[in-house]
Amino acid sequence: MNVSSLVAFSVLRLQLSISTLHCLFASIFSKVCNWTIRAYRGTPSPVSPQKLDQKRIQNAMTPTSVNYHFTRQCNYKCGFCFHTAKTSFVLPLEEAKRGLKLLKDSGMEKINFSGGEPFLHDKGEFLGKLVQYCKQDLQLPSVSIVSNGSMIKEKWFKKYGDYLDILAISCDSFDDATNQLIGRTQGKKSHVDNLNKICNWCQQYRVAFKINSVINTFNVDEDMVEHIVTLNPVRWKVFQCLLIDGENAGEEALREAERFIISDKQFQEFLDRHSSVPCLVPESNEKMRNSYLILDEFMRFLDCRDGRKDPSKSILDVGVKEAISFSGFDET
């Protein structure tokens, strides 16, 4: 091989080596870029603590679900009641509707009407008109009621049943004698018989049926499994008896609920014995104090964090945002 051929061959080899290295580096560079892009897309940008706090505050200020106790009057005398008849005030219908519209405009999606006994005022007509307004005019996804069931008539279902999503009936015992001891009764009427009747109406008028039970010293040892399974509610909420200063405990209280109180251990034992019931949802005292957004008869939010009910200003006077900031509500 002459000198010129050797030089040409060497140049060719060098060009091939450079080309190979170029392709290799190009491939590596391309993969690194793809990895970087995927990592960038898959990993959210860091959020500052300030922005996280702002988002948390904004979520806390949104009244997604509200319990409106529009009346304190009741026809039962449950010994542990924590929203007692300290006033007989009920807002005029149009003012109540105005407040509900303010709540809807602030993000409310679920409204639950309670008392007192909500069917007591105006024989359920006031309640029915509010239920209809919330479903038909405000178009809320969920409209519900909590009642002792004693005042409910089938004609109410015929008139307002289409606007109601859920009806929860309070039942602490399936023994009439125990209900008498608790005060969950009126005269000689059987609370349990009435419960079965309302359950059938809910099925007939396509309203979801729930049961709420407050566990206390008089029913903590009762076996309710068979009765709950037979009634088959969509949800069975089981509450631990709760003391609220000024309501069922303390000098200004209308009830003395200390004799109804059970320990956390007793409450857990009751839950354990009923764990086979699939619809059971437990509510401890801690959850009761912090996780319910309560609006009273004046449309004031109630702060229950310190074991009593401290009212905010009315949303009708200061708006929802200012009133809710006082409530102590914790959705987490």
Is residue 81 annotated as part of the catalytic site, yes or no? yes
- Phi/psi at 56 (5° precision): -65, -45
Of the candidates 23, 33, 78, 199, the residue annotated as catalytic is 78
Long-range CB contact pairs, 97-100, < 8 A, 24+: 97/130, 97/133, 98/316, 99/295, 99/299, 99/314, 99/315, 99/316, 100/68, 100/130, 100/133, 100/134, 100/138
Of the candidates 81, 134, 202, 304, the residue annotated as catalytic is 81
Q: What is the Cα–Cα distance from 6 to 11, expressed in whole angstroms?
A: 9
Given a contact cutoff of 8 angstroms between Cβ atoms, the answer to whether 181 and 218 are in contact is yes
Is residue 78 annotated as part of the catalytic site, yes or no? yes
Q: What is the Cα–Cα distance from 228 to 216, expressed in whole angstroms?
A: 18
- Phi/psi at 83 (5° precision): -145, 75
Of the candidates 74, 171, 241, 304, the residue annotated as catalytic is 74
* E strand spans, 87-207: 110-114, 142-147, 166-170
Q: What is the Cα–Cα distance from 83 to 255, expressed in whole angstroms?
A: 10
Is residue 23 annotated as part of the catalytic site, yes or no? no
Q: What is the Cα–Cα distance from 113 to 106, expressed in whole angstroms?
A: 18
Given a contact cutoff of 8 angstroms between Cβ atoms, the answer to whether 260 and 79 are in contact is yes
Long-range CB contact pairs, 18-22, < 8 A, 24+: none
- Token output for 68: 């409106």
Q: What is the Cα–Cα distance from 265 to 57, expressed in whole angstroms?
A: 34
> Which residues belong to the active site?
74, 78, 81
